[in-house]
């Protein structure tokens, strides 16, 4: 009896995903609960378990395919793994029995090859998903290594990047048929009529782009995973939210001295004391005083949702793209607690280990390009939040003080600030007051220590 496995609704308003890994082959046997596919939904990678056991009869998707709820993923034959073959097949894995040299009583000439195949098959059939970070899985796909054939050296048998690289260099590792890059290239080279159509998430553009190949060689590659999700969300936010930008600079000279004086103590606790951490505390104080910047406009367009919590998202640049983990209850935590938590969240973001829950529920966002290089920029609000704060590079700047008759010039460390806000919820005057409150906190480090 054949049964279909389809992509079920993962909830939280998600309707599509991208196939990033296929963990089984046609003809292989699986048990109920075995991971058979890995898919990426927006910014989180999830392994899909088999709903029941059996032999994989057909795989209906390929790596790189975009699937929607209800799409067929694969077909399983048999009620469970044991029903997939006869009693003899249960002990040897089914179809592999016909291969010469793989049985215990087979030819001695084929014993070496048979032992190798048996060992790799044993590893492939281990119950449950292989413990590995998404970044490690991505590395394995790029190097053509099957994770199931690796014995992880990390805690609890977790497969590490070093394990994957070692396996790639070993002659005993069975390579995958082709890497993720080749999969994408092959998909792009397929005739349009044979390619799996991508689901439409937004209306088709009102214009027809020109044939760019008229002017030279071009390459067409799909917009994938995080970059695709970012493109959709940013286009939606820009189209639906009337943005206004308020710019200012904060004198963080004293704050930088405070940061340096306390950096070692925070590092000993497992965190990294950065300007971003201190800005989070200043932002929390301003949000508490001016809650309409911590709000959202309801779907009816006539109701303001005031949030009595302060969950601030922090943009983190990763190899996958821009991810925004959310730090909960910023207004209730000390600077040291925030430093430790943000350090761990940032690491997990770069390693691809964040869950969807850790990137949801934000009420305000902070994004800092100063560490990469950028004097100033204007960020786009994350829908459905009311505002986002962009930080530029803090620079020593000559600042004139005094009056026209007795001016004086000093070198001060100035931090550029850009508050992008939803003009439906706040006006320019409120934005100026909000940034002024932040400037006051940043220029007075003692106030940040007291804000717990």
Supply the residues annotated as catalytic: 423
Cα angle 202, 207, 209 (rounded to 5 degrees) comes to: 105
To which residue do tokens 């709820």 refer?
69
DSSP string covering 159-196: B-HHHHHHHHH-TTSPBPSS-HHHHHHHHHHS-TTTSP
DSSP string covering 85-98: S-HHHHHHTSGGGG
- Report how far apart, in Å, the C-alpha atoms of 452 and of each of 23, 267, 315, 438 are: 47, 19, 23, 16
Sheet containing 54-59: which strands, arranged edge to edge? 2-6, 72-77, 54-59, 29-30
Q: What gap in Å lies between CA 176 and CA 147, rounded to an integer? A: 10
What's the burial of 402, exposed, middle or buried (CB within 10 Å: 0-12/13-18/19+)? exposed
252 C-beta neighbours (distance < 10 Å), count: 23
**For residue 122, what are the β-bridge partners?**
none
Q: Are 127 and 34 in contact (CB under 8 A)?
A: yes
Q: Give the helix/strand (H/E) hosting 203.
A: none
**For residue 313, what are the β-bridge partners?**
326, 365
């Amino acid at each position: 009896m054949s049964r279909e496995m389809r992509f079920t609704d993962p909830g939280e308003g998600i309707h599509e995903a991208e196939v990033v890994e296929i963990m089984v082959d046609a003809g292989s046997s699986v048990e109920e609960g075995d991971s058979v596919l890995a898919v990426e939904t927006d910014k989180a990678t999830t392994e899909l378990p088999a709903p029941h056991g059996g032999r994989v009869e057909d795989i209906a998707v390929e790596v790189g395919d975009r699937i929607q709820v209800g799409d067929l993923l694969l077909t399983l034959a048999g009620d469970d793994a044991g029903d997939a073959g006869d009693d003899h097949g249960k002990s040897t894995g089914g179809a592999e029995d016909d291969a010469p040299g793989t049985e215990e009583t087979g030819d001695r000439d084929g014993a070496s090859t048979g032992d190798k195949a048996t060992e790799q098959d044993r590893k492939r059939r281990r119950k449950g998903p292989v413990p590995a970070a998404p970044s490690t899985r991505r590395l394995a796909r790029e190097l053509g290594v099957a994770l199931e054939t690796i014995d992880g050296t990390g805690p609890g048998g977790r497969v590490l990047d070093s394990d994957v690289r070692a396996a790639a260099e070993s002659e005993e590792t069975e390579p995958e048929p082709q890497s993720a890059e080749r999969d994408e290239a092959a998909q792009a080279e397929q005739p349009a009529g044979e390619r799996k159509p991508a689901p439409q998430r937004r209306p088709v553009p009102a214009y027809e782009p020109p044939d760019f190949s008229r002017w030279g060689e071009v390459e067409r590659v799909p917009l994938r995973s995080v970059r695709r999700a970012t493109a959709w969300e940013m286009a939606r936010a820009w189209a639906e939210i009337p943005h206004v930008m308020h710019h200012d600079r904060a004198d963080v000279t004293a704050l930088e001295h405070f940061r340096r004086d306390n950096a070692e103590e925070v590092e000993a606790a497992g965190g990294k004391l950065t300007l971003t951490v201190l800005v989070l505390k200043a932002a929390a104080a301003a949000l508490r005083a001016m809650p309409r910047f911590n709000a959202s406009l309801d779907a009816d367009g006539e109701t303001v949702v005031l949030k009595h919590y302060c969950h601030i998202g922090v943009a983190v640049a990763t190899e996958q793209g821009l991810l925004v983990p959310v730090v909960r209850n910023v207004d209730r935590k000390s600077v040291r607690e925030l430093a430790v938590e943000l350090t761990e969240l940032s690491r997990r973001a770069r390693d691809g280990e964040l869950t969807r829950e850790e990137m949801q529920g934000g009420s305000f966002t902070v994004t800092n390009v100063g560490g990469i290089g950028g004097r100033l920029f204007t960020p786009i609000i994350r829908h459905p939040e009311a505002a986002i704060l962009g930080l530029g590079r803090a620079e020593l700047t000559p600042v004139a003080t005094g009056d026209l008759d007795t001016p004086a010039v000093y070198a001060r460390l100035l931090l550029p600030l850009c508050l992008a806000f939803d003009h439906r919820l706040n006006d320019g005057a409120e934005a100026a007051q909000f940034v002024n409150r932040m400037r006051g906190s940043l220029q007075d480090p003692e106030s940040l220590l007291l804000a717990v």
